[in-house]
Structure 1
């Protein structure tokens, strides 16, 4: 069997991690029963040079992929999100299960 390694660029990886954080929170997502993923209800907005994503603070620059059509298209091609952004934001089961290796690298717990 041939195993295809999936590669993500840094912005795609960061965006996927942020979507996974949003998917863990019942205030920002709901189950997508048909696919086993999670539908993201809303995206956080930056204030100043950062934004709050769940319990984390993230630089606005690192979170810019959340509103970047090219990032969404790339993640959809790889099967990590449904290809219906911006009308609908769904992270698939594959997206939830994929490890980018960044899960604890660029976010810090919020102090406010």
Structure 2
């Protein structure tokens, strides 16, 4: 039997938020000290107009509303995907490895 596509039953907003957190962790590349396989995220992007930049990608602001939504963070924390700490968030190994299937849909390549 093939693995379930969304085993933690994350809703679309949670999946989009996790996709962005994965990209932030990849870009910052700061392994978490007390979380094996986890990465520290120290800054969240801010939109200018209707988009923001993550590395060489452009993300529509509408795809990032979960980054500022405490309920989304609470669910991701409850499911073991993220841990909030003062001044940072830790994307756990579970969060790093989770396949949201959305990376190519919300991270658009930019030339500027």
Q: TM-score, normalization: structure 1? A: 0.86
**RMSD in angstroms over aligned alpha carbons?**
1.9
Q: Structure 2 CA distance, aligned partners of 1:17 and 1:76?
A: 15
Residues 49 and 60 of structure 1 are in contact (CA less than 8 Å); yes or no, is this contact kept in structure 2?
yes
What CA deviation, in whole Å up to 9, does each residue of 1:41-96 have, x standing for no partner? 111110000011222111101011111101100111111001x2674311101000
Q: Could you say which residue in structure 1 is the equivalent of 2:98?
A: 98
Q: Could you say which residue in structure 2 is the equivalent of 1:48?
A: 49
Q: Structure 1 CA distance, aligned partners of 2:34 and 2:82?
A: 14
Does the residue aligned with 2:73 lie in a helix, a strand or coil? helix
Q: Could you say which residue in structure 2 is the equivalent of 1:16?
A: 18
Q: Structure 2 CA distance, aligned partners of 1:63 and 1:41?
A: 16
Residues 76 and 82 of structure 2 are in contact (CA less than 8 Å); yes or no, is this contact kept in structure 1?
yes
- Identify unmatched segments of 5+ residues in structure 1: none
Q: TM-score, normalization: structure 2? A: 0.86
